[in-house]
Structure 1
Amino acid sequence: MEISYKQLLANITTLIFDVDGVLTNGMVTIMPDGELIRTMNIKDGYALKTAVDQGLNVCIISGGTNEGVGKRLANLGIKDIYLGAHDKIKQYHELVQKYNLQPENVLYMGDDIPDFPVMKLVGFPCCPNDAVPEIKNASKYISNIKGGEGCVRDVIEQILRVQGKWEGNFSAKYD
């Protein structure tokens, strides 16, 4: 009997996300001074903060170096933020040592070729709907939502629901 991806979510303790193409739509606005401006989805931010508040390890490994991105993520309570990471395996191994992680406890969401080496090592590789074909083929779950449009919220909410940590956050029921 094949295990459904939802059953695998029950064991996830650590979430690792790429930024460009996952937390953003992969587009950048280039300012006259050369600064690259990115846009993030506020619902992804809420889910990231909720995951942190519920005790999950939330980590970022990105090749990008934008200080504003780092500040935004730190303000959500994320402590493990690796920017300028062009060899993501190094940062992944640091996290494995720091938290004594087992592959089955780790989710990684990426969208492009630089994410592939880490995705091969984790227990739950996943991606946004608009990831490149190689990443989709390596994923155990493909969100029906594109990068930067709520795919991070999608996967975090599913994890927290499976673990019984989503509904407990709300004092009122919404119809």
Structure 2
Amino acid sequence: MSNINYDLTKIKAFVFDVDGVLSCDVIPLHPNGDPMRTVNIKDGYALQLAVKKGYHVAIITGGYTEAVEIRFSRLGIKHIYMKSAIKIHDFNDFMEKTGLLPEEVMYAGDDIPDYDVMKLVGLPVAPADAAPEIKSIAKYISLKNGGCGVARDVIEQTLKAQSHWMSEEAFGW
């Protein structure tokens, strides 16, 4: 049973911000100045399963590090937008490429750059530690903080609602 107040059977796509959603909002810096991010293994499992089950999955982030691109492409994610200065532009590109309707999309964001996209999608999601402005427009606020399983939370609930969670594809990477 889902605790998300939205018809999860409509969802065909998952779109995520990285910093503060798929990684913690505190980022260690490498001595050369590059940010180093953490990732949640259970998020990774859920992301690759969603891809295997035929969902569209996208990453839209203002940041850029090669490690982030490698991590998410290895999970099978094809739509990776990095250095996204204005996220709505990249989101519109994703929508055009996939032909999805806004009500078929879940977007998880945690801060002001995510606001415009979250206002457009059917299911805007915020981590527990998101900015107040983002929480105010989210239809679902995860009990998980950013970097601590937000993707797993929403993907698992959605796949369960659509009877895709414990399928044969679930038992392997």
TM-score, scaled relative to structure 2: 0.94
Match of 1:155 in 2: 154
**Equivalents in 1 of 2:96, 2:170: separation in Å?**
37
Amino acid in structure 1 at the alignment position of 2:21: V
Structure 2, unaligned stretches of length 5 or more?
none
Tell whether the 8 Å contact from 1:6 to 1:162 is kept in structure 2 after alignment.
no
Percent identical among aligned pairs is 49
Match of 1:27 in 2: 26
1:9-65 CA distances to partner (integer Å, 9 max, x unpaired)?
Answer: 110001100000000011111121111111000000000000000100000000010
Figure out how many residues of one structure are paired with residues of the other and give that number.
169
Structure 1 runs of 4+ aligned residues shifted over 3 Å read 4-7, 169-172
**Equivalents in 2 of 1:5, 1:29: separation in Å?**
33
1:80-110 CA distances to partner (integer Å, 9 max, x unpaired)?
Answer: 0001001001111111111111111011000
Amino acid in structure 2 at the alignment position of 1:42: I
Match of 2:85 in 1: 86
Question: What pairs up with 1:46-57 in 2 under 5 angstroms?
Answer: 46-57=45-56
Root-mean-square deviation (CA), in Å?
1.5
Say which SS state the counterpart of residue 107 (structure 2) adopts: strand
Structure 1, unaligned stretches of length 5 or more?
none
User: Deviation of residue 171 (structure 1)?
Assistant: 7.9
Say which SS state the counterpart of residue 167 (structure 1) adopts: coil
TM-score, scaled relative to structure 1: 0.93
Structure exhibiting the larger radius of gyration computed from Cα positions: 1
Match of 2:38 in 1: 39
**Equivalents in 2 of 1:66, 1:137: separation in Å?**
30
**Equivalents in 2 of 1:169, 1:154: separation in Å?**
20
Match of 1:60 in 2: 59
Match of 1:106 in 2: 105
Match of 1:139 in 2: 138
Amino acid in structure 1 at the alignment position of 2:114: D
Amino acid in structure 2 at the alignment position of 1:15: F
Say which SS state the counterpart of residue 125 (structure 2) adopts: strand
Say which SS state the counterpart of residue 7 (structure 2) adopts: helix
User: Deviation of residue 6 (structure 1)?
Assistant: 4.8
